[in-house]
Structure 1
Amino acid sequence: MNTKNFWFLMTLGVYQVSSSPISFCPDNSDVCFQWAVPEAGNENIYFQIDAPTSYQWIGLGIGKQMAGAAMFLVYEDGQGNVTVSNRNGKGHSMPLFGDQDSISLLDGSGVKDGRMVANVLYKNSGKLDLSGSSDWIMAKKQGASLASVDPDESITVHDSHSAFSINLAQASVALDSNPFSENNNNENGVSGGDATGVTEANSNPNNNLILAHGVILTVVFVAVYPLGSLLMPWLGKWYIHAAWQMVGFLAMWAGFGIGYVVSSDLDIFFDQTHTRLGVVVVALLGMQPILGLLHHMQYRRQGRRGAFGHVHIWYGRALIIMGMVNGGLGLQLTGASDVYIIVYSVVAGVSALLYAGYSTFKAIKTEKKK
């Protein structure tokens, strides 16, 4: 082989290696993605979503987290093809319907051999840096087919999600056309892609913290505070009531601290109804120990309940109910299923009714004694 031919083949080999999509299956699962960026530099991005039909929907998103992410959802259309939907991520709630003109479903998409495949062209329009690493997320939900052609179809919360970075500079292909079609595979030097250029992040860094936040504050507002408020009329021992409520008070601040860490990490602190109301309720409850102390001091001087006592009691009751309501808003924010929301609503509702009923009964009984 002469020198000229040798260098020609070497150059061709390098070109073909570099001209290949990036392929990645997060968490080594059966859900896989590919990315390809044309060398022409016109901001187009091609990507493929490939998953078993046992999944109800698959989501691929641009961003570090759901809030603010550009999400691309794929699900079966019930006619042997798939529906692709561009949506705007809104934290831990269902992504909202977005601009569908920026995406196109390409040839080779469909349902075959138990898998749904979506080959997608995304018109980037300069929103994403194609010359370096960018943050992506993935979410998936198993279940029965949605069988819908509606790009605004409602979806339920995902089963799991992952986060990773993709170096799109390493996803270069020669032609600005569907790199996943059989006709273009050879011309683009595509042979299935590889995982070079992928950095996988911790898949679920906040899930345990979200669970801890929810469990702690549910116990505090649905059980500890209501029961503690009834200990005084039941037992007549102010120090038992105070000690019990102080345990709940400290637990509340621990739960709030966890919530602050998570919401700050997700960039939704004081940006959602749940986080706003949570801050207000916890801040107002910060006054309760002081009001309780003033009530106790006034009672010892006067021998009866005074203004501070009435404020302490009704102020606390109102905030407990607000806390219960906010728990339901928190479940909605996480995208919890209707079953969990209904169960929480029933338990919180029963607790609130028992609490209100007994409080009313005691108030009427006290008035009759007078």
Structure 2
Amino acid sequence: MSIYSKRNVWCAIFLYFTLVQVGYGLNRYCLKEVDYCFTITLPQNNETLVHFRLEAPSTAGWLGLGIGKDMTGYLMIAWANDDGSITLSQREGEEGVQPLATDQQSDLQLNMDTSKINENDKFIVEFTRPLKVKGNTIKTKQDFAYAYSTLNPYDKDINAYLARHDYNGHIKLNLADGVSELSQYDRLIIAHAALMFSAWLVIIPGAVFIARFARNFLPTTWFKLHVGIQVFLSLPVIIAGSSLSFAAAGNLTFDDPHKIVGFVLFLGFFIQLAIGAIHHHLYDPKRLRTPWWTQLHWWFGRALVVLAAFQIPLGLKLYGVDMAYYYIYYIYLFILLIAFSFLSFRLWNRGQDNGFKRMRDSQDDGFKQMQNS
């Protein structure tokens, strides 16, 4: 594949991730994984109240809606009680701290007639609040954070303890004309996902395929291609993708498996480059057996790619994407595994026909020619 073809694939993936994520609705957004939807309507005519409608399955534990880019700051939390009543709590949240009820609960007015678990087994919460309250104002183009938990507080008190959410996310709504826009956070995360997917499951596997399967017909150039791709393509893409995730999060925390594995992969890539440099420096074309540092380079690289393959679904879950993304990813991964297995079998079969020693010698001669060139 030429560098132009790779660039086209990269652009196609980025555009796919970007365009599919843009949603449209009348001041409405839905978290499809759990069928949690919220609708926000600005004051009409001479009204001064913003109308909110939250809808989720009756099995929902608690529903959260925040005015801002994450579930910190101004929050509105609702849950159903055993006696059929609904608790609506206005809270103030901080990162890593249980959000506490404010002293301005009267800002929120629950509609007792429409807020209930209805005949369709849906948990409906409808309420209003002024456009501007103490410490918070809703704008025409507004960022909303949302959260969904399967664990009910089982306590009517507005300051009841809330278990950690199972799903959360962030969306920017244009409440004037009903168009849902991608927020800055979403754009950064989507770009991060596109770059990291391209690096770990397109570019790096391509370099691995060249090193493993292209030695016979590219005896003097396979190594230059392998190193060039890793240093001049994979490296800047990984650095750029990592920088975007840091910019989106605003800090460096390890409170999620995706972040932990991502940091391990980031460090592992540089370790693999160092091992590869050692392998190249100590390479002996007259060797009779493969040294341990070469085998370490092989197996450590394979381990990184496998870890990256598990990392992608962790990121999809963290961002809360539709199941369609998982299906597309698993189909792509299946095709990649089939291609690797087929080429590995052909390589093994060729070795059986020609003899492993003669095959290895021809590769080593090519490597020697490349070094002397």
What interval of TM-score do these two structures reach, taking the shorter chain for normalisation? 0.5 to 0.7
Q: 1:313: how far off?
A: 0.8
Matched, 1:60 2:65: yes
Asked if the contact 1:298–1:306 (Cα under 8 Å) also holds between the matched residues in 2, the reply is no
Q: 1:229: how far off?
A: 0.5
Give the structure 2 partner of residue 253 of structure 1.
239
Alignment match of 2:319 (pick from 334, 347, 352): 334
Q: 1:155: how far off?
A: 9.1
Report SS of the residue matched to 2:192: helix
Q: 1:68: how far off?
A: 4.5
Find the aligned partners of 1:353 and 1:283 in 2 and give their Cα distance: 28
Relative to 1, partners in 2 of residues 1:157 and 1:276: Cα closer, same or farther, differing over 3 Å? Answer: closer
Give the structure 2 partner of residue 72 of structure 1.
76
Q: 1:48: how far off?
A: 6.6
Give the structure 1 partner of residue 51 of structure 2.
50
CA deviations on 1:298-317 (whole Å, 9 max, x unpaired) are: 33354463222111111001
Find the aligned partners of 1:56 and 1:356 in 2 and give their Cα distance: 45
Asked if the contact 2:70–2:145 (Cα under 8 Å) also holds between the matched residues in 1, the reply is no
Query: Please, what TM-score do these two structures have when normalized by structure 2?
Result: 0.54
Find the aligned partners of 2:302 and 2:346 in 1 and give their Cα distance: 15
Pairing of 1:188-227 with structure 2 (within 5 A): 204-227=183-206
Find the aligned partners of 1:31 and 1:133 in 2 and give their Cα distance: 15
Alignment match of 1:31 (pick from 35, 40, 43): 40
Letter of the 1:285 partner, please give it.
F
Matched, 1:308 2:319: no
Pairing of 1:1-370 with structure 2 (within 5 A): 31-32=40-41, 50-51=51-52, 60-61=65-66, 64-68=68-72, 71-72=75-76, 108-111=111-114, 117-119=126-128, 138-139=144-145, 160-161=171-172, 204-236=183-215, 237-246=222-231, 247-264=233-250, 267=251, 269-303=253-287, 305-352=290-337, 354-355=339-340, 358-359=343-344, 362=347, 366=351, 369-370=356-357
Letter of the 2:356 partner, please give it.
K
Asked if the contact 2:50–2:128 (Cα under 8 Å) also holds between the matched residues in 1, the reply is yes
Report SS of the residue matched to 2:255: coil
Query: Please, what TM-score do these two structures have when normalized by structure 1?
Result: 0.54
Asked if the contact 1:110–1:116 (Cα under 8 Å) also holds between the matched residues in 2, the reply is no
Q: Which runs of 5+ in 2 are unaligned?
A: 1-25, 28-38, 58-62, 116-123, 148-153, 155-161, 175-180, 216-221, 358-373
Higher radius of gyration, 1 or 2? 1
Relative to 1, partners in 2 of residues 1:369 and 1:287: Cα closer, same or farther, differing over 3 Å? Answer: same
Give the structure 1 partner of residue 177 of structure 2.
none
Find the aligned partners of 1:323 and 1:90 in 2 and give their Cα distance: 32
Question: May I ask how many residue pairs the two structures share in their alignment?
Answer: 270
CA deviations on 1:104-126 (whole Å, 9 max, x unpaired) are: 985644449xx973158xxxxxx
Letter of the 2:273 partner, please give it.
P
Q: 1:350: how far off?
A: 3.5
Q: 1:336: how far off?
A: 1.1
CA deviations on 1:249-283 (whole Å, 9 max, x unpaired) are: 2211111111122122xx56322111111011110
Find the aligned partners of 1:86 and 1:353 in 2 and give their Cα distance: 53
Report SS of the residue matched to 1:300: coil
Report SS of the residue matched to 1:286: helix
Find the aligned partners of 2:320 and 2:212 in 1 and give their Cα distance: 39
CA deviations on 1:72-129 (whole Å, 9 max, x unpaired) are: 35799xxxx98858899899xxxxx9999x98985644449xx973158xxxxxxxxx
Find the aligned partners of 1:302 and 1:133 in 2 and give their Cα distance: 73
Letter of the 2:76 partner, please give it.
F
Find the aligned partners of 2:73 and 2:345 in 1 and give their Cα distance: 49
Asked if the contact 1:86–1:98 (Cα under 8 Å) also holds between the matched residues in 2, the reply is no
Letter of the 1:255 partner, please give it.
G
Report SS of the residue matched to 1:271: coil
Find the aligned partners of 1:283 and 1:217 in 2 and give their Cα distance: 14
Find the aligned partners of 2:205 and 2:253 in 1 and give their Cα distance: 27
Q: Which runs of 5+ in 1 are unaligned?
A: 1-27, 35-46, 92-96, 121-129, 142-149, 164-201
Find the aligned partners of 2:327 and 2:100 in 1 and give their Cα distance: 33
Find the aligned partners of 2:194 and 2:78 in 1 and give their Cα distance: 33
Asked if the contact 2:110–2:126 (Cα under 8 Å) also holds between the matched residues in 1, the reply is no
